[in-house]
Structures are given as C-alpha cells and as structure tokens.
Amino acid sequence: MRKYKIVILLILVLFNFNNLFCQSKPLPVEEFKLKNGLEVKMIHFGSIPAVTISCYVNVGKKTETPGQQYLASITSSGLMLGNEKYSRIDQDNLLSKLGSGITPASNDNYTELNMRFLNKDAVAAMDLFSNVILKPLFSADEIKQRIGQTLNYNNPYKMDISALASMYSDFTVFGTSNPLGRHFYAAQLNKITAAQIKEFYKFNYTPKNTELILAGNFDGAEMKKMIETLFGTWTAAYGENNGSAYEPAEINKKEYFFVNKMKVTQACIQWNKKGPAGGSKDALLFRLANNAFNILLFDEIRSKEGKTYGINCWFSEADNNGMYSVSTQVRNEVAYETTVSFDRVLKQFYSAGITQEQLDKSKAALKNLRLSIETPDAIIGFYNPILYPDINKRNEFLASIDGVSLEQVNKIVKKYFNPDSYKLVMAGDESVLEPQLKKIDGLVKLPVTSIEKDN
C-alpha cells in the first residue's frame, strides 16, 4: 500500500512540475489584423476543446465628458439588452442552451466583454457574440429601467462605508475637472437617454479602437475565417477614437476628508497615493515593493496591534489611473489610532526599504501567480492587449522579474512611498467619531452632495 502511495505522489509531483515547466514557456500566439483595422490575437492553450474570447474596447470612465458620468458602464451593460438579430429573451435562451454567458465590464481605462463556449458550439456562440457587440439596440425602455436599478443600488445614502470611502477618494484625488473624479448622481443620470448612449457607442465602439483575444484549444484557421466573416464588415460611423487625455492627479501633501454615515459600528479609512502607470516598467517594480509593504502593514497594524481584521494596499494596473490605495475597516474607538499607526508604518517602510530576503520572497510570490495560471480566462487577463500591446515583451515577464535588482526596487520605494503625501478619506458615524476627528488637523467634512458636480 505504501508503494502505491509513493508512486501516486511521484506522479503528482511530476505532473505539477511538467505543468509549471510548460507554463514558463512562451505560449503559441497567432496575430492578425482585419482590413477594417480590428486586431486579433489567438493563444493556443490547454487540452479541453473550449474557447474563451474577450473583446477589449479602448473606452472607459476616462472617456466620459461632463454630464456623462456612468455612460461607459451603462453602454457596456446595455449591449446585453438585445440586438438586431437576437431579442433579449432569445439571447438569454441561447446562452442557457450553450451553457455560457457574456460578461460586460467597464472600468476607468477600458471596456471588456467575455464569453466561454465549447468548440462544438463555436458557430452559434460566435454569431451571438458578434451581434451583441456590433448590432445592439439600446431600447429606451430597457435603458430607463437599467438607470433606475443603478440609482437604487448605488445611492450614497445607502452605500456601505467602504463604497463611500472609495467613491469620495476618487472625488478628492482627481476632482470633477477630471472624468475619474466625477460620479453619477440621480439628477444627472436620469438625463441620459438611449439616443445619447447610441451616439457614445457609435463614436467609441469601432474596429480600430477594439481588440479581440482568444485562448483555448481550437482550430486557428477555422476561427480566423469565422472572425473575418463576422467582424470584417464592421465599420466606424464617425471615424476612429483611440484614446483620451486628462491631467494626472497630483498629491504633494497630506490631506484629510470625512464622509458621514450614521448608525455604523465601524469606520472605513482609505489612504490614496500617487502610483505608477499600468503596463510601465515601474508597475512591475512597484508590485514587488508592494508585496513587502502589504506584509508589513498586516504584521504591524493587524497582528501586533490588533486594530483591524485586515489592511490591504492595492494597485490596479487595469484601471491605469496612476493611483494606489490602502484601505481598512476598524472599530470606531481605534479609528484615529489607526491613522497614527499607518503613518508610522509608512515612514518605517520608506526609511528602511526592503531587504534582499523580502525581495526574493516577493519575486517568488509574483512568479507563482504567473506559473499557476491554468484557465483560458486567466491567460487572456495576463495578455490584456490594452495594457500589454507587445505580446512578445509580455512573454518575457518571468525573465523580467528575475532581472530586477534590490537597488531598483528600493528606488521605487523612495519614489512612491513618501510618508508626507497622501489623501485620506474616512467614512463613519460622525456623532461617534467626533472626539477623534478633532485630533486631525485640517480635516474637511464632505457632505454627501459633494459629488453632484459635472464640471
């Protein structure tokens, strides 16, 4: 019996080693461009006869002009409200029959639609996917209903404290002159019409402003032919829009803001600091430094001081908004003390930097994230064409990690972890926290109506 256990263990070890070895190799990729300018990447991966396809459109919150708050998001979700070939009911029935779904999402930087299907269903699935993207109807009644649902579920008076802290962080960091600092509100969002959404769609959803990326085990020649047939006739109604420009946020000192949320038993604190651009060389170095900073935050503020169940420093390359944030929720009675602890930990990290041992652990953790990728969805995320347009350079990710030196990472610590500059937003019950709030010099109290600006 023991021999069999040893044999099984060896097989599992060899299987995992082989899997990691294969993952460390560059994946076979086919790239081509249609005559209309649509770029396509096909990544051959895995042994299951299935495909994940993602459509990336270079449009997001960054593209919204004053008064258009939430337009990018409601346009992407509106794609699922029916199209010229499939009514919403027909579309949902077909997706159910295929055992699939189409997931639209829009962030600060771009919009993405994903679909998974088996190879045997490729013709039906690709036909539906292309019609969702190319021929949406944006029914006025459906849009009105979607706006009503959005306002019901995203009312600042009903939001939890973490959502409030995040929303007002964007407002205080970017301001309403920047699309990333504006937020929708009832009077503004109710003015958005289906006609306005259609114009936004026509201007931004164009072949040259979009990329398709597929991953899975499929016939490349057949899939290419299908894409050419379904997407080859796509044209731009108003030319091509390939980007948006806005002034990056500047944070040069400490500033403190508070948003009142009555009858809550905790306070949420979010510190916001200047970060690197997504996809830049600094982004990789920052992630390595940030791994060590996260461990330090948790060890000091959670483990030693017991002020919170968790505290996390997060940075989104996908949003590519040039910011990173630290957030936590704490008991009301230790809210101010937690801000003091954070200042101490940030100053400690900035002064000491990280050690070679910490860097080695951070490198190993980041490499393991890459090597553990085992689904087509995750592969597509790794090769995100908006963030990483050069797929060959992206294939050098593991080697790039190996090439990072301690000196490089500690320069990043000095560049991005300055303890004298951040914007802090706290959300909680003012009536309970007032004695502690008085200890914060220069605290600005924000009324809930602060976001109701379009300029």
Give just the sign of the alpha carbon dihedral 348, 349, 351, 354. positive
CA dist 215 and 24 (Å) reads: 17
Q: Report helix, strand and coil shares of the chain as percent, to nearest 5.
A: 50, 20, 35
Assess whether pLDDT exceeds 90 at residue 396: yes
Specify the pLDDT at position 7.
Answer: 36
Residue type, 110: Y
Question: Residue 181 gets which letter from DSSP?
Answer: G
CA dist 389 and 211 (Å) reads: 10
Specify the pLDDT at position 9.
Answer: 35
CA dist 93 and 105 (Å) reads: 21
Specify the pLDDT at position 243.
Answer: 64
Over residues 34-62, mean pLDDT: 96
Residue type, 219: D
Specify the pLDDT at position 391.
Answer: 87
Helix (H, G, I), strand (E, B) or coil at 84: coil
- β-strands 39-44, 29-33: how paired? antiparallel
Which helix or strand (DSSP H or E) is residue 211 part of? Answer: strand 210-216
End-to-end Cα spacing for the chain: 74
Q: At what angle do helices 281-297 and 356-371 cross, to 10 degrees?
A: 110
Which helix or strand (DSSP H or E) is residue 447 part of? Answer: none
Which helix or strand (DSSP H or E) is residue 445 part of? Answer: strand 444-446
241 band by pLDDT with thresholds 50, 70 and 90: low
Residue 407, class by beta-carbon neighbours within 10 Å (0-12 exposed, 13-18 middle, 19+ buried)? exposed
Give just the sign of the alpha carbon dihedral 14, 17, 22, 23. positive
Specify the pLDDT at position 239.
Answer: 73
Assess whether pLDDT exceeds 60 at residue 5: no
17 band by pLDDT with thresholds 50, 70 and 90: very low
Specify the pLDDT at position 25.
Answer: 72
CB 61 within 8 A of CB 106: yes
Q: Which residues make Cβ contacts (< 8 Å) with residue 314, sequence separation at least 6?
A: 324, 325, 326, 327
Specify the pLDDT at position 278.
Answer: 86
CA dist 78 and 133 (Å) reads: 10
Q: Please, what are the domains in the chain? A: 25-231 (3.30.830.10), 254-450 (3.30.830.10)
Assess whether pLDDT exceeds 90 at residue 279: no
Which helix or strand (DSSP H or E) is residue 269 part of? Answer: strand 266-274
Residue 284: HSE in the Cβ half-sphere, 13 Å Cα cutoff: 22
Q: At what angle do helices 335-352 and 430-437 cross, to 10 degrees?
A: 50
Question: Residue 300 gets which letter from DSSP?
Answer: I
Assess whether pLDDT exceeds 90 at residue 282: yes
Strand order through the sheet with 323-331: 308-314, 323-331, 266-274, 422-428, 254-260, 444-446
Specify the pLDDT at position 154.
Answer: 86
Which helix or strand (DSSP H or E) is residue 191 part of? Answer: none
- Name which residue leads in pLDDT, 13 or 55: 55
Specify the pLDDT at position 316.
Answer: 94
- Residues 172-219 have pLDDT tens digits of 999 999 999 999 999 999 999 999 999 999 999 999 999 999 999 999
Q: At what angle do helices 71-78 and 140-153 cross, to 10 degrees?
A: 120
24 band by pLDDT with thresholds 50, 70 and 90: low
CB 180 within 8 A of CB 321: yes
Specify the pLDDT at position 15.
Answer: 36
Over residues 104-128, mean pLDDT: 97
| DSSP secondary structure of 30-52 | EEEE-TTS-EEEEEE--SSSEEE
